[in-house]
Structure 1
Amino acid sequence: MSLQWTIIATFLYAEIAIVLLLTLPIASPSKWQRFFKSKFLAYISGQASIYFLILIGVLVLCLLDAIREMQKYSNIESTDHQHLDAEMQGNMRLFRAQRNFYISGFALFLLVVIRRLVQLISQLATLLAQSEANFRQAQSATVTARDLLEKAGAGDEQNKKELDELKSKITLLEKELNKEKKDKEAVKSQAESLNKEYDRLAEEHSKLQKKLTVASGGDSKKDE
């Protein structure tokens, strides 16, 4: 394997490790959000889009080169059957082109998956934080309104009006509290569906790693 494809394969293995870290229940979304907003990542986040586009461009070029090699050696395989050595060389180069195609293709795919996972985890952490803050605010307002109701007497007409206003406020606050509870349940449901999607991606990545291991083993045997 040339230096170029060795670097891309190493990058692919690193992507698999990152995806496994993001999908496994190692840390909560809030902890990942704090990690994403750390000083180091904040330092490079300004140029993250540029790095992402550069990596996409490099992987696309490698993918196109692998496709070109596949087409080239596929044509040789279909026409040249006169010499056994030439046919074996053509088959070996075709196999390497196919291996490079899978390596670059899956590296490009996982790069997009990692970016999307980071975005989903950040959005989930933000939604959880907002839901928790709104829930506490609604609880505090409800407790305050009930305390005022307990202190309110059955006095004159003004007290009755204030009592009616407090009751209406309590009703509104209870509605908001129920809404926040439903939003929190919806966020939990979204988190569960996201974890299921993570598990599915982790299973696909495990299968991919097995295929790459088998492909690398076959390539080593042919090189020997």
Structure 2
Amino acid sequence: MTLQWTAVALFLYGEIAVNLILCLPFISAKRWRLVFSWRIWNWLSPYWNKCFFTMIMVLIVLFLDAVREVQKYSGPEPMQDAKVNPNVYDHVHMKLFRAQRNLYISGFSLFLWLIMRRVVTLLNQVAVTLESSAGLQVQMDSAIKAARQHQEDNRMLKQALLDDEKSMSAKNQQLKLEVEKLAAQLKAAEEAMRKSHAEVEAMKRQAKGLAQEYDRLLREHHQLQNLQGPEDKKDQ
């Protein structure tokens, strides 16, 4: 294996190890976000995209070179030469095997390189989503608490209004009873006043009758005195 393909194979093994570590279930997305927020990643972030696309270009070139080698050693011409000479046959198969191996190495390296970037992006998105959902959960809990508090305040206010209404109803009932009592007393006073007026009118009529009787008796007395006066004069 040449130096370049040895480097690609080591790169593939490193990708497999990193992807396995990223997929460990006991390491949460929040912890990975803490790891990704280290200062070294912030320092490397300006170069990350350039490095990523450079590696993609290198792996694509190596993959296309491996495809060319596979097509080269799997074509009809090398096989015809290999049938003539057995040593050439073994050599061609060895070259074909190496080309296919390089094809798999470069292809899987390219695939895992894309997968690793996608996994890192998804872990960051999951961590952000979890943080947002935690914030939304806190806001929802506070909103539910506030709603319950408002509901309790409304219940207490309704209870206070109901108590005030009951007390007002009791006061109105008491005032109504007092008004009825005063109305009865007023009616009794009016009845007593009517009786008093009737008695006064009766006394007035009685006094008027007595006055008339007195005047009549007084006139009769004068008449009697007048009748006795001439008789006394005649006897003299």
Taking only aligned residues, the RMSD between alpha carbons, in angstroms, comes to: 1.6
Q: How far apart are the structure 2 equivalents of 1:122 and 1:60?
A: 27
Unaligned runs of 5+ in 2: 162-236
CA shift digits 1:31-59 (9 cap, x unpaired): 11111121111111122111010000000
Distance 1:51 1:97 in 2: 26
Q: Identity of aligned pairs, percent?
A: 41
Report 1:37-48 matches (<5 A): 37-48=37-48
Shift of the alpha carbon at 1:150? 3.3
Residues in 2 aligned to 1:139 and 1:73: alpha-carbon distance in whole angstroms: 68
What TM-score do you get using the length of structure 1 for normalisation? 0.66
Name 1:208's counterpart in structure 2: none
- CA–CA separation in structure 1 for the residues paired with 2:148 and 2:80: 88
Question: Do 1:77 and 1:91's aligned partners in 2 also have CA atoms closer than 8 Å?
Answer: no
Mapping 1:185-196, distance limit 5 Å: none
* CA displacement, residues 197-216 of structure 1 (integer Å, 9 cap, x when unaligned): xxxxxxxxxxxxxxxxxxxx
- Spell out the pairing of 1:87-166 with structure 2 (5 A cutoff): 87-151=89-153, 153-154=157-158
Show structure 1 runs of 5+ residues with no match: 157-224
Q: 1:112 to 1:85 in 2, by over 3 A?
A: same
Partners of 2:51 and 2:92 lie apart in 1 by 36
Aligned length: 156
> Helix, strand or coil: the match of 2:157?
coil
Structure number, greater radius of gyration = 2
Q: Whole-Å Cα distance in 1 between the matches of residues 50 and 142 of structure 2?
A: 45
Shift of 1:120: 1.1
The secondary structure found in structure 1 opposite 2:84 is coil
Amino acid of the structure 2 residue aligned with 1:77: P
1:138-177 deviations in Å (ceiling 9; x for gaps): 2112223433443452367xxxxxxxxxxxxxxxxxxxxx
Is it true that 1:73 corresponds to 2:77 in the alignment? Answer: no
Runs of 4+ with >6 A deviation: none
TM-score normalised to structure 2 length: 0.62
Q: Which amino acid aligns with 1:105?
A: G
Matches of 1:150 and 1:67, distance apart in 2: 74
CA distance in 2, matches of 1:63, 1:149: 67
Residue equivalent to 1:175: none
Query: CA–CA distance in 2 between the matches of 1:136 and 1:85?
Result: 75
Deviation at 1:119, TM superposition (A): 1.1
Secondary structure of 2:27's match? coil
- Say which structure, 1 or 2, has more relative contact order (CA 8 Å, 6+ apart): 1
